[in-house]
Structure 1
Amino acid sequence: MNFNKADLQKEVSYKTSRSGGKGGQNVNKVSTKVELLFSIDDSILFSDEEKEILSLKLQSRFNKDGLVQVVCDEERSQYLNKEIALEKLAVMLANALIKQKVRKPLKVSKGAKLERLGNKRIQSEKKQSRRSNFDLN
């Protein structure tokens, strides 16, 4: 996880297109929608082990060419959309590289077990005492 946005910027490529949504006349003239493409395999920022992890965790984000694709058309400015897309990619990569903690199963302590069984016994006795004894001979 030793990468920053400046390093990432050098390894990404952008495609721009006309965006829908707000912007009025501007939408029809300016290509503000940004599609960021990043190749995990060709990256020099990550080790082979990290590349494998990223490939597995970001599998759903790959396009048909095997590139990670992030699309942004939130703003009216192409520059802002590029910044947002790059930020999204950085967060996505950082989250994918976080190792999940291994869950250690806890043993129930002897005291807790005895307390639970004691409570069960008391509850059982309470219900037993509510029963009426029907002896039909």
Structure 2
Amino acid sequence: MLFDPRSLHSDLRFQFARSGGAGGQNVNKVATKAELRFSVRESTLLTDEQRATLLDKLANKLTTEGELVLTHQTERTQLANREKVIKKFDRLIAKAFEVPKPRKATKPSAGMIAQRLDQKKRRSEVKASRRRIDD
């Protein structure tokens, strides 16, 4: 199932704050840090199955209220930080809905089995030759 995270953009809430860290005059006056909030539990755009998937896959990134909070603060403008945090959100949601490719069980070839046994035998002989000989 392909899922487009952009369909959830209407449920996003933004807050802006002053960025942390070293800066200059600008960092002390301008609130450029973008904080994105998305409530997985209260979203009207998700089906119950999608909601359960997100709650399961993003469990370690959600608050106790089931809210996803992402921030970005490296850019100098609110708009740039807002765009970056939206991209981060889109990647995270898309990855949560990715279906992993099923693993195909394989057997080692006869040649690989023989090679492994041969290496084990050689290694055993090397170690045996290091042992002390009792009289």
Alignment TM-score, normalising by the size of structure 2 = 0.73
Structure-2 residue corresponding to 1:16: 16
Structure-2 residue corresponding to 1:57: 57
CA shift, 1:31, in A, is 0.9
Residue ranges of structure 2 left out of the alignment (5+ in a row): 130-135
Structure-1 residue corresponding to 2:4: 3
Farther-moved stretch of structure 1 (89-98 vs 7-16): 7-16
Partner of 1:92, secondary structure, is helix
Contact kept? 1:37, 1:67, Cα under 8 Å: yes
**2:31 aligned with 1:47:** no
| RMSD over equivalenced CA pairs, Å | 2.9
- The amino acid of 1:65's aligned partner reads E
Contact kept? 1:23, 1:76, Cα under 8 Å: no
CA shift, 1:9, in A, is 2.3
Farther-moved stretch of structure 1 (55-64 vs 15-24): 15-24
CA distance in 2, matches of 1:30, 1:2: 36
Alignment size in residue pairs: 123
CA shift, 1:69, in A, is 0.8
Runs of 4+ displaced beyond 4 Å = none
Contact kept? 1:37, 1:68, Cα under 8 Å: yes
Structure-2 residue corresponding to 1:30: 30
CA shift, 1:23, in A, is 4.7
Q: Percent identity?
A: 33
CA shift, 1:49, in A, is 1.8
CA distance in 1, matches of 2:106, 2:78: 52
